[in-house]
Amino acid sequence: MRLTFIISLLLIITSSVGVHGQEFAFELWHDGKVVLENGDTLTGNVKYDMHTDLVQIQVGDRFESYSARKLLFLEIFDKTVKRYRRMYSLPYNTSGEYRAPVFFELLEEGKITLLCREAVEYRTYSSVYNYYNYSKLTVVYRYFLLKEDGSIDEFLGKRSDWLNIMNDRKEEVQKFVKSNRLSFDEKYDLSRIIAYYNSLFPVRR
């Protein structure tokens, strides 16, 4: 009984350290560049925040901040996932009929153009021993579809709804997902799935 208590206590301590010790991409500075509304390009250390739709950039000893209204595009090398990420300022209906520029990460472009925004929320998890639950700050992703007319719709469905969107190649996509052990719930897995689907159609020129 005492051993069980000690194991549970260690798990709580480990989980607490993990919550406070983890680093999110938006908290870090990344090598990158930003393209301003006037077309100027700035290269340096870049820090983004999708919650406030603000970007900071350090060029030499100078620090500057820009809102989504002042930027067209930014690209960073995200050290947390070891890959380049591209974000665009695009008009979106934030409330009612009012459209305002916000940052979207471009995951895939083609027949389906997949965009993403991220946020941080507390999520509750169960320990492997099921003795207690604990809360942890977690990055959550919201996905959006960019249509040909420029409108952007948030995707609010589930796995089956993704397959319904890709209904014209549904069987091929399912085989690809299964053979590569991909999950629709994982950001970069979903990106691979959409990229595969897009590859099944000729590129328009």
- Enumerate the domain spans of the chain: 2-156
Residue 14 has what pLDDT? Answer: 38
Residue 124 has what pLDDT? Answer: 75
Measured from the Cβ of residue 95, the count of other Cβ atoms closer than 10 Å reads 7
Residue 174 has what pLDDT? Answer: 95
Residue 102 has what pLDDT? Answer: 94
Residue 12 has what pLDDT? Answer: 40
CA atoms of 87 and 92, how far apart (whole Å): 14
| pTM (predicted TM-score) | 0.81
Residue 74, exposed/middle/buried by CB under 10 A (0-12, 13-18, 19+)? buried
Each of the 205 residues of the chain gets a pLDDT tens digit; together they read 443 333 343 334 333 334 445 678 988 999 999 999 999 999 999 999 999 999 999 998 999 999 999 999 999 999 899 999 999 999 998 766 678 999 999 999 999 999 999 988 877 777 666 566 767 788 889 999 999 888 999 999 888 899 999 999 999 999 999 999 999 999 999 999 999 999 999 776 5
CA atoms of 159 and 72, how far apart (whole Å): 32
Stated as kind and residue range, the H or E segment containing 63 is strand 62-67
